[in-house]
């Protein structure tokens, strides 16, 4: 079965005060790390949806096998990027994994566990669970593409997950709870990634 990954990274990062996608954690830009995890799972079958700061951010992915598309209507909210990404999927895609561009702690192994859960049962959504929530990263089979394409405003893919919880496989993923929105988040993540790098050097 053919799985394609959509990395949603079109937001303006207004709460952070700078493009979160280009902030460096662990020595590399946030977007580069997230896309690298996606590429580890799906190779060239990765599409990054940019919007605000698209010219700057596309340069960060110049040497990535991922494709880049630009959502000109990113200000509408998350749903517009989902629709744009779904519309750009190849016809051969049997399912799509939706991942946010600021889910900086999600690893390639996390995504591989999600994909394994999706492959075990036909026609189900495989979604991450964290902090007593269910959400993205999540894998949606093709039969849910139209529903994703009908989202509007700032509705994310969680809306589709909640409506179809009877066709859902939950995959525990604490790393998915960690994202980057505020200067306080950045300070905590910088400390976390620095500790990880120090541990690697020991």
d(CA 83, CA 39): 21
- Structure confidence at residue 199 (pLDDT): 54
Positions in the chain whose pLDDT score sits under 50: 201-202
CA torsion 87→164→157→193, rounded to 10°? -130
- Structure confidence at residue 96 (pLDDT): 98
Check which CATH number belongs to the domain holding 81 and give it. 3.90.550.10
- Cβ within 8 Å of residue 61, ≥6 positions away: 31, 32, 35, 48, 68
Q: Is 92 exposed, middle or buried (0-12, 13-18, 19+ CB in 10 A)?
A: exposed
- Structure confidence at residue 1 (pLDDT): 82
Nearest to 31, CA basis, from 127, 18, 118: 18
Owning domain of residue 172: 3-201
- pLDDT tens for 71-81 read 999 999 999 99
- Structure confidence at residue 198 (pLDDT): 54
Q: Is 129 exposed, middle or buried (0-12, 13-18, 19+ CB in 10 A)?
A: middle
Q: Is 139 exposed, middle or buried (0-12, 13-18, 19+ CB in 10 A)?
A: buried
Q: At which residue do the structure tokens 């744009």 appear?
A: 84
The separation between the first and the last C-alpha atoms of the chain, rounded to the nearest angstrom, is 41
Q: At which residue do the structure tokens 């993540």 appear?
A: 189
- Structure confidence at residue 65 (pLDDT): 96
- Structure confidence at residue 202 (pLDDT): 46
- Structure confidence at residue 197 (pLDDT): 57
- Structure confidence at residue 98 (pLDDT): 98
Domain count, the chain: 1
């Amino acid at each position: 079965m053919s799985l394609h990954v959509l990395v949603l990274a079109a937001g303006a990062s207004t709460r952070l005060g700078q493009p979160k996608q280009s902030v460096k954690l662990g020595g590399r830009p946030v977007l580069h790390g997230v896309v690298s995890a996606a590429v580890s799972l799906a190779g060239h079958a990765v599409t990054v949806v940019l919007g605000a700061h698209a010219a700057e951010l596309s340069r960060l992915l110049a040497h990535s096998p991922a494709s880049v598309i630009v959502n000109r209507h990113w200000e509408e909210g998350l749903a517009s990027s989902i629709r744009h990404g779904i519309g750009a999927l190849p016809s051969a895609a049997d399912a799509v994994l939706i991942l946010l561009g600021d889910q900086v702690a999600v690893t390639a192994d996390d995504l591989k566990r999600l994909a394994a859960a999706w492959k075990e049962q036909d026609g189900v959504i495989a979604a991450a669970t964290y902090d007593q929530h269910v959400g993205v990263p999540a894998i949606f089979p093709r039969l849910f593409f139209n529903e994703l394409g009908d989202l509007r405003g700032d509705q994310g893919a969680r809306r589709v997950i909640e409506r179809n919880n009877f066709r859902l496989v939950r995959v525990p993923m604490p790393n998915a709870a960690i994202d980057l929105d505020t200067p306080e988040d950045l300070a905590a993540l910088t400390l976390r990634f620095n500790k990880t790098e120090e541990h690697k050097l020991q």
